Structure 1
Amino acid sequence: MLIETIFVHRFSHGTMPLRTIFKNCAYYWGFSAWLAYYINHPLYTPPSYGELQVNYALVLFVMCELGNFSIHWTLNNLRGDGSKSRKFPVPTKNPFTWLFFFVSCPNYTYELGAWVSFSVMTQCLPVALYTLLGFIQMTIWARGKHRAYSREFKNYPSLRVAIIPLIL
């Protein structure tokens, strides 16, 4: 989270105010402490399907994290060489960026996938609640970004939706 905050979000450069870093850290660290309490509690019950469930969810989690990194890398390189021209993101040769064919904010899609897989991996109700709250917030952000892209770019792909391919 801190690496993303430092290298992806451009604080005080027009995309996010610097004070937001403190709010983000409090939110993520607070929830992390709450989730860690339940996951590490002596009465924690392992997932119903044991290691099989954990391993499949872990593979999905890693894939979603790689996808999220790929999207952030693509977004970070969108303006190359200090250009001031604005353009919308498009898929690259990297298969993880192909979600740009369907959604405006695949970074949120991948983040949601990572949290869903973590919820499955831990089979812990507070993790699922956190995932739901995160999904609601990311949907709000994704819809706003999608609307902004649609208004700003006349040639914006009409097939794209905000966060969930072909649905939302």
Structure 2
Amino acid sequence: MPLRTIVRNCAYYWGFSAWLAYYINHPLYTPPSYGELQVNYALVIFVMCELGNFSIHLTLNNLRGDGPRGRRYPTPTKNPFTWLFFFVSCPNYTYEVGAWVSFSIMTQCLPVAFYTLLGFIQMTIWAKGKHKAYSREFKDYPSLRMAIIPLIL
């Protein structure tokens, strides 16, 4: 990865982390409206999305073949978290957005929701590009699949 990209990525993530931490840890921070119930449900969704993201990355890692002839597009496996491949080209981004949405619900903090929105926009751009590349490269690519949100986008 080029040094300029590393610096830009670190500034983005560290800057947002500091901004979010400031609001979440501020003495005037207001807990979520529905208290522990809201936090616990959002935490369960967050953990499931993180497990899904991990499963997708393992599946994508196992796709690496020998040269251009070994390339193939990702398909669902026996792992239920990979079944999202039936509907989207980039379920890793779907799970990542889900994790950030659940974190936004968990903290009920506007800066976190703003960060989630910016992340969703960027990941949608990446997912659309990957989806388009898969569609061009593989003639038998499933037409039902969308880029990042099942049946919508």
TM-score category of the 2 structures, normalised to the smaller one:
over 0.9
Query: 1:65-144 counterparts in 2 under 5 A?
Result: 65-80=50-65, 83-84=66-67, 85-144=70-129
Q: Give CA deviations for 1:18-57 in whole Å, capped at 9, x if unaligned.
A: 4333322221111111000000000000000000000000
Give the equivalent residue in structure 2 for 1:54.
39
Q: Give CA deviations for 1:118-167 in whole Å, capped at 9, x if unaligned.
A: 00000000000000000000000000000000000000000000000000
Pairing 1:29–2:11 present: no
Percent identity, please. 87
1:163 to 144, 148, 151: 148
| TM-score normalised per structure 2 | 0.95
Counterpart of 1:160 in 2: which secondary structure? coil
Structure 2: distance between partners of 1:126 and 1:166:
29
Structure 2: distance between partners of 1:137 and 1:58:
24
The letter for the 2-side match of 1:162 is A
| TM-score normalised per structure 1 | 0.87
1:64 to 34, 37, 49: 49
Pairwise CA RMSD: 0.9
The letter for the 2-side match of 1:144 is G
Counterpart of 1:162 in 2: which secondary structure? coil
Structure 1: distance between partners of 2:60 and 2:7:
23
Q: Which runs of 5+ in 2 are unaligned?
A: none
**Which gives a bigger RCO, structure 1 or 2 (Cα 8 Å, sep 6+)?**
2
Give the equivalent residue in structure 2 for 1:11.
none
